[in-house]
Structure 1
Amino acid sequence: MKETASIAILPGDGIGPEVMNEAVLLLQEIEDYDRTFSCEMNEFPWNSAYYLEHGRMMPADGLAQLRSFDAILFGAMGDSSVPDEVTVWDFIMPIRKQFQQYINFRPVKKLEGIRSPLAESEDVDFVIIRENAEGEYSNSGGRLYDHTNEAMAIQNTIMTEKGIRRAADFAFQYAKEHGLPVTSATKSNAVIHSMKFWDEVVQKTAEAFPEIALEKIYVDALAAYFVQRPQSFGVVLASNLFGDILSDLGSALVGGLGISPSGNLNPSGDYPSMFEPVHGSAPDIAGQGIANPIAQIWSAALMLDHLGRKDLHDMVVTAIEKTLAEGYRTKDLGGEHSTKEMGEAIRANVRKQLQEVAV
């Protein structure tokens, strides 16, 4: 009997629909060849064009519609016709916060076949666990006296013991399952209230995992260590802002944003989790058929893992590496292959693995 997963598809703006198409075709390929997996995909046209037509990023019951799905596969959002704060705070943030997707999971892995700007990068393989629901990305603050010489702005960072603890607990549990050390990103020497609180809660959580090594590093030094000794990291635990910045740096170390996936996780399973590439909508290359689909496809693989099919996740990542080893490259990786050509090659390598398993 097949497992049937219900998946909401949100292609978004720019290159989002192009790379999403390759991920959807991959899922259909798996469904065709794997007798134990089935998925029902529903696509929603909620993007900047929808906003310009309706005055909102999604219908009033949009979250209620998404709530019924097992997972959400998201492309990218952003267009010059709509202010960024609208697409972020009227679309992305409501999904993350209302569905309690308090973990952002981002692997940083050197794939076979991709050149890194680092001379010694072959064994770079770590994950960044980013607190995803509060911290620096809290909608708290305001502005006063705009357009005067006394104008001022206040942006509040909100950190709760519950929020820090559950992110830290997830990081240490993952580290325990995979035999990895934990590095906590902080800046408590200068940000003496919120980050010192972060340190205290992380340390308290660590006491329940005495077998896991914990290293606390100031985030500015950590950025340098990402370049100098990336092989030394296993699990990097970070606040919302620090995790966001470090994730992009991590992506650059192993080939760029075009290959980097992420998952916004609700670990309890009470709400759907959302999976998306780290890259943005890249409107400057939209419609040209040259966008790299790897990040979107790998995000779909993370979704498969979250749905209980680690075997399929591993097949997809193996297929990505095999495709790269065969010489396939989109423009961002120094090649000339199109989005579709890269997607087709990855699907072909997944198909070969599925056929071998079926024999």
Structure 2
Amino acid sequence: MAKHKVAVIAGDGIGPEVMTEGIKVLNAVQAKVKNLSLEYEHFPWGCDYYLAKGEMMPQNGLEILKGFDAIYLGAIGDPRVPDHISVRDLVLRIRIGFDQYANVRPIKLLEGVFCPLKNKTPQDIDFIVIRENTEGFYVGCGGRYSKGTPEHGKYAGLRRAFSDSEEVVVQEGVFSQIGVERVITYAFDLARNRKKHLTCCTKSNALNYSMVYWDEVFRKVAKSYPDVRTDFAMVDATCMWMVKNPENFDVIVAENLFGDIITDLGAAIQGGMGVAAGANLNP
């Protein structure tokens, strides 16, 4: 029987409590599935580790994790550590380091779990969000530019508020042809094996480069999946319809930032973050 090595990073806050119960579930699955054997190794990485060591995980953390078949991650975050440090130096480091470009978030209401939406049942709330997980506005490109610098001058000509400001801050979203194509293709493959309906979550009416490109790639990939019904929804409208008519969705594909937002909304309508599963994958 082959053993699957699992690195357990319980993390912070409720993370250790959730991981303890989650491992009980995994052990129960092992007992029922033939030839499944899981071997766990626990790592104390997270905000307490940062406060003691000055880093969220060791410098060779990714090298250590390479020896595992899966990473079981709890919760990351602590008021004592700035969020941009805790998330970027552990969560994003793992995602980007292992090119886990597909974040898969099932939004499924389970029997017996309270739903905050009136008269919605498990038959109404059963869809999946595919979030692009390594690009967009999370790549860390941009900067803070003081008045008088060439970078500040680049934006000063766009409008008076920019030119009069002592500082201009830019956060760049980076969308690559490979990155966009592969996550949209993954979403189409998933939709083909479900109810054959894929929604493109976009904001191309306002983001005139990134989201226009995203929509173009979606339409291009769609030509290879004539059996999958497609539609487009602006991200704000997506949020509204997830609350009003969640039964209309099957699979939604979204860029990184939008996917981050709508998946937490999805968690709320399925009963809360405690019952919201998710996986970061490199298919």
Q: Same fold (TM over 0.5)?
A: yes
- CA deviation after TM superposition for structure 1 residue 190, in Å: 1.0
Counterpart residue number, 1:220: 236
Matched, 1:190 2:180: no
- CA deviation after TM superposition for structure 1 residue 27, in Å: 2.4
- CA deviation after TM superposition for structure 1 residue 192, in Å: 0.8
Counterpart residue number, 2:130: 129
Counterpart residue number, 2:115: 116
Conserved in 2, the CA contact under 8 Å of 1:129 and 1:237? yes
CA–CA distance in structure 1, aligned partners of residues 225 and 34 of structure 2 = 40
- The verdict on how the C-alpha distance between 1:210 and 1:31 changes in structure 2, with shifts beyond 3 A counting, is closer
Matched, 1:259 2:275: yes
The 3-state SS of whatever aligns with 1:49 is: helix
**2:138 is matched by which residue type in structure 1?**
Y
- CA deviation after TM superposition for structure 1 residue 33, in Å: 5.3
CA–CA distance in structure 1, aligned partners of residues 272 and 195 of structure 2 = 27
**2:127 is matched by which residue type in structure 1?**
F
- CA deviation after TM superposition for structure 1 residue 120, in Å: 3.1
Q: Sequence identity, in percent?
A: 43
Structure 2 portions without partners, runs of 5+: 148-163
Q: If each structure's strand is expressed as a fraction of its own residues, which one has the higher value?
A: 2
CA–CA distance in structure 2, aligned partners of residues 199 and 29 of structure 1 = 43
**2:47 is matched by which residue type in structure 1?**
S
- CA deviation after TM superposition for structure 1 residue 35, in Å: 4.5
Structure 1 portions without partners, runs of 5+: 268-359
CA–CA distance in structure 2, aligned partners of residues 170 and 31 of structure 1 = 28
- CA deviation after TM superposition for structure 1 residue 21, in Å: 0.9
The 3-state SS of whatever aligns with 2:278 is: strand
Counterpart residue number, 1:98: 97
- CA deviation after TM superposition for structure 1 residue 230, in Å: 0.8
Matched, 1:211 2:230: no
Counterpart residue number, 2:144: 143
- The verdict on how the C-alpha distance between 1:151 and 1:69 changes in structure 2, with shifts beyond 3 A counting, is same
1:215-249 deviation digits (Å, cap 9, x = unpaired): 01111111111122110100001000111111111
Deviates more, 1:114-123 or 1:215-224: 114-123
Counterpart residue number, 1:283: none
CA–CA distance in structure 2, aligned partners of residues 256 and 70 of structure 1 = 28
For normalisation by structure 1, the TM-score amounts to 0.71
Counterpart residue number, 1:23: 22
Counterpart residue number, 1:68: 67
Counterpart residue number, 2:260: 244
- Matching of residues 282-293 of structure 1 within 5 Å: none
1:288-314 deviation digits (Å, cap 9, x = unpaired): xxxxxxxxxxxxxxxxxxxxxxxxxxx
Counterpart residue number, 2:151: none
